[in-house]
Amino acid sequence: MVKGGPVWTVTGERTIGPIDPVTNQLGASIRLSGNPLDLAVGEGSLWVLYSDQDVLTRLDDRTGTKVADIPLINGGNGVAVGEGAVWVISNVQGIVSKIDPAANTVVDQLSAPGNLTDIGVGEDGILWITTGGGDVLRIDPNTRKITTISFVGRLDGIAVTPDGVWVVSRPHV
């Protein structure tokens, strides 16, 4: 959500829509070129990652107008925005891609161990990534140092706030 702007949500196959945070009403859906998998807001944009395309779409965060399509080598399954960059994880080869929003291009990549499931970025620029194997990876993108924090169960989601890092887990079945 953008301060004063809408909250974006997936509304159906190949569509997203804005929710007005004051009225709680869903606005008109926007048709996309693929099936949205993950959304992130930041750098004046809404970033859409697809389950069926190896591309990250940048939309104006208030109007939903397409700004750019950014090709991804191995697609992605999680996107986050923070500290002047957009970050995309791909569990195909454990790749974390850094996208420069000023250039709309991938400017760096690093490897991370495990089946990457979600990503968040702290105010300090630290990346936090969950894995299907029950680990949280803390990655400093400047030094590329990875610290692994192990949990029991599969980790499916992560949220990074000024107060902490929150993970969604479920037990191994």
Name the DSSP class of 152.
S
pLDDT in tens, 18-56: 999 999 999 999 999 999 999 999 999 999 999 999 999
Residue 106 shares a structural domain with residue 123:
no
Task: State residue 84's pLDDT score.
Answer: 95
Q: What residue has token string 């697809």?
A: 50
pLDDT in tens, 90-144: 988 899 999 999 999 999 999 999 999 999 999 999 999 999 889 999 999 999 9
Tell me the one-letter amino acid at 173.
V
**String of b and e for 30-55 (b: at least 16 CB within 10 Å)?**
bebebebbbbbbbbebbbbbbeebeb
Contacts of 83 (CB under 8 A, 6+ apart): 121, 123, 124, 125
Domain boundary among 70, 91, 111: 111
Q: Binning pLDDT at 50, 70 and 90, where does residue 1 land?
A: very low
Residue 32 shares a structural domain with residue 101:
yes
User: What is the C-alpha separation between 166 and 122, in angstroms, rounded?
Assistant: 12
pLDDT in tens, 47-87: 999 999 999 999 998 888 999 999 998 889 999 999 899 99
Residue 16 shares a structural domain with residue 98:
yes
123: left (phi over 0), alpha (psi -120 to 50) or beta: alpha
How many structural domains does the chain have? 2
Task: State residue 31's pLDDT score.
Answer: 95
Residue 164 shares a structural domain with residue 102:
no
Residue 23 shares a structural domain with residue 60:
yes
Residue 162 shares a structural domain with residue 125:
yes
Cβ contact 87:97 at 8 Å = yes
**Reported pTM:** 0.92
Residue 13 shares a structural domain with residue 64:
yes
Domain boundary among 77, 111, 145: 111
Task: Please say if the pLDDT value at position 3 is more than 70.
Answer: no
Residue 24 shares a structural domain with residue 95:
yes
Mean pLDDT of 133-157: 92
Residue 14 shares a structural domain with residue 75:
yes
Domain boundary among 111, 127, 144: 111
For residue 52, the enclosing domain spans: 1-111
Q: How many residues does the chain have?
A: 173
Residue 24 shares a structural domain with residue 98:
yes
Task: State residue 51's pLDDT score.
Answer: 93
Residue 54 shares a structural domain with residue 104:
yes
Q: What is the CATH number of the domain that holds 10?
A: 2.130.10.10
Three-class secondary structure of residue 139 per DSSP: strand
